[in-house]
Amino acid sequence: MRETELKQPGEVIRRHGPWTRITHWLWAICVFFLLLSGLQIFNAHPALYLGRQSGMSQGFDNAVLRIGAEGGQGAAPLRGVTQVFGRDLDTTGVLGLSGPDGAQQARAFPAWATIPSEQDLATGRVVHFFFAWLLVATLAVWALASLLNGHLRRDIWPGRRDLRGLGADIRAHLGGPLPHGRRYSPLQRLTYFVVLAGLFPLMILTGLTMSPGMDAAWPWLLDLFGGRQTARSLHFLGMLLIVSFFVVHIVMVLAAGPLNEMRSMLTGRYRIRGHAAAEEE
Ligand code: HEM
């Protein structure tokens, strides 16, 4: 179908091909399980460091984040404490100390945020590695299919036109009506590009850097990320960015018209709206 045919407001077009839809839902599932099993793994040693080693057993402190419980002796009640760059924050109830009153547990992330709920590092690792490899395979299939069917060039790879239109598009996302055309808006393209070509590969590479077997096979990974501890901190930071993307992504789907958006990612069919139909000219 040619773009010049897509000018009628209300016309239903085919927005997403089958590979885009299948891979999208696969990585949404992967990200869900990776997040919750990753928090389980983090709980086994709830601190992050910068550098090639943790200073814990070496007598120096290079921690950038630490989540734990303090107090509980004498009159001082037990409380959850999150330390970020040396600053203590009271996070009782969510981080460090959580659970129902009278049965609170000292654990970094609460039971509802981990897979499995109870502390079980071995199961957490099995789940994490399974979905990590599924994500690698999904990303590889998406990249190959998108290269062959033109989705990468047409919809994802940001061009000059997108960079020029970015300012106006950011303003539109901050208040005006969202575009509903055939193409992704410039901000959408850039965001998806950063997630697919930046964040996902960063998560995969920093994940591999934490594996002793991979360090032996590819020692350049340790040089690239400045050591296993820095790689672990970057992996955590990448997780926070993906969670932030997810929250904004869902808000945008709701703002753009959830039924039309969901239909497009499930069946491929999408209804063009009035002002966007004119933009296709
Ligand atoms: C953490 C999980 C998720 C990630 C990483 C993610 C990522 C992405 C990416 C990269 C795209 C562009 C895909 C492409 O064009 O090849 C996309 C599109 C889309 N996603 Fe997600 N997504 C996630 C979860 C969800 C969920 C839960 C929903 C539904 C509520 C959703 C709804 C959509 C829709 C409707 C589009 C198409 C937007 C449009 O056509 O304008 N996503 N997502």
Output the domain CATH number for residue 18. 1.20.950.20
Q: Please tell me the predicted confidence (pLDDT) of residue 275.
A: 54
Query: Is residue 34 domain-shared with residue 164, that is, in the same domain?
Result: yes
Query: Is residue 128 domain-shared with residue 233, that is, in the same domain?
Result: yes
At 2, the pLDDT band (50, 70, 90 cuts) reads very low
What is the chain's alpha carbon radius of gyration, rounded to the nearest angstrom? Answer: 22
Total domains in the fold of the chain: 2
Output phi, psi for 70, to 5 deg: -130, 160
Query: Is residue 149 domain-shared with residue 104, that is, in the same domain?
Result: no
Domain stops at, among 57, 75, 108: 108
HSE-CB of 126 using CA atoms within 13 angstroms: 4
Distances 188 to 147, 162, 184 between C-alpha atoms, Å: 19, 10, 6
Query: Is residue 190 domain-shared with residue 244, that is, in the same domain?
Result: yes
Q: Is 226 left (phi over 0), alpha (psi -120 to 50) or beta?
A: left
Q: Which atom of ligand 1 sits closest to the CA of residue 250?
A: 30
Q: Which atom of ligand 1 sits closest to the CA of residue 156?
A: 15
**Residue ID of nearest Cα to ligand 1 atom 22:** 28
Q: Please tell me the predicted confidence (pLDDT) of residue 177.
A: 72
Q: Please tell me the predicted confidence (pLDDT) of residue 30.
A: 98
**Residue ID of nearest Cα to ligand 1 atom 39:** 261
The whole-angstrom separation of Cα 231 and Cα 70 is 28
pLDDT(226) > 90:
yes
Query: Is residue 189 domain-shared with residue 211, that is, in the same domain?
Result: yes
pLDDT(28) > 90:
yes
Query: Is residue 274 domain-shared with residue 144, that is, in the same domain?
Result: yes
Task: Give SS3 for 52.
Answer: coil
Q: For residue 224, how far is its CA from the centre of ligand 1 (angstroms)?
A: 30
Query: Is residue 261 domain-shared with residue 136, that is, in the same domain?
Result: yes
Query: Is residue 33 domain-shared with residue 62, that is, in the same domain?
Result: no
Residue 152 lies in a domain: yes
Q: Which two tokens stand for residue 255?
A: 């703002």
Query: Is residue 59 domain-shared with residue 129, that is, in the same domain?
Result: no
Residue 210 lies in a domain: yes
Residue 195 lies in a domain: yes
Residues flanking ligand 1, CB < 6 Å: 15, 20, 24, 27-28, 31, 155, 184, 192, 195-196, 246, 249-250, 253, 261-262, 264-265
**pLDDT tens for each residue of 65-114:** 999 999 888 778 899 999 999 999 999 999 999 999 889 999 999 999 99
CA 88 distance to own-chain centroid: 26
Residue 127 lies in a domain: yes
The whole-angstrom separation of Cα 231 and Cα 49 is 9
User: Can you list the positions of beta strands (E) in the chain?
Assistant: 12-14, 47-49, 63-70, 79-84, 87-90, 96-98, 105-107, 269-271
Residue 114 lies in a domain: no
At 151, the pLDDT band (50, 70, 90 cuts) reads very high
Output the average pLDDT for the chain.
Answer: 91
Task: Give SS3 for 257.
Answer: coil
At 174, the pLDDT band (50, 70, 90 cuts) reads confident
pTM of the model: 0.91
Residue 155 lies in a domain: yes
Q: Please tell me the predicted confidence (pLDDT) of residue 203.
A: 98
Task: Give SS3 for 50.
Answer: coil
Query: Is residue 135 domain-shared with residue 220, that is, in the same domain?
Result: yes
Residue 3 lies in a domain: no
Query: Is residue 141 domain-shared with residue 240, that is, in the same domain?
Result: yes
- From 27, 139, 265, mutation site for ligand 1 pocket: most ligand atoms within 8 A of C-beta: 265
- From 249, 261, 266, 272, mutation site for ligand 1 pocket: most ligand atoms within 8 A of C-beta: 249
Section 268-276 average pLDDT: 78
**Residue ID of nearest Cα to ligand 1 atom 28:** 250
Q: Give the rounded percent of residues in the chain with a pLDDT score beyond 90.
A: 74
Q: Which atom of ligand 1 sits closest to the CA of residue 265?
A: 35
- List the domain range (segments joined by +) for residue 93: 49-108
Domain stops at, among 64, 89, 108: 108
Section 17-41 average pLDDT: 98
Query: Is residue 53 domain-shared with residue 190, that is, in the same domain?
Result: no
Section 185-201 average pLDDT: 96
Residue 113 lies in a domain: no
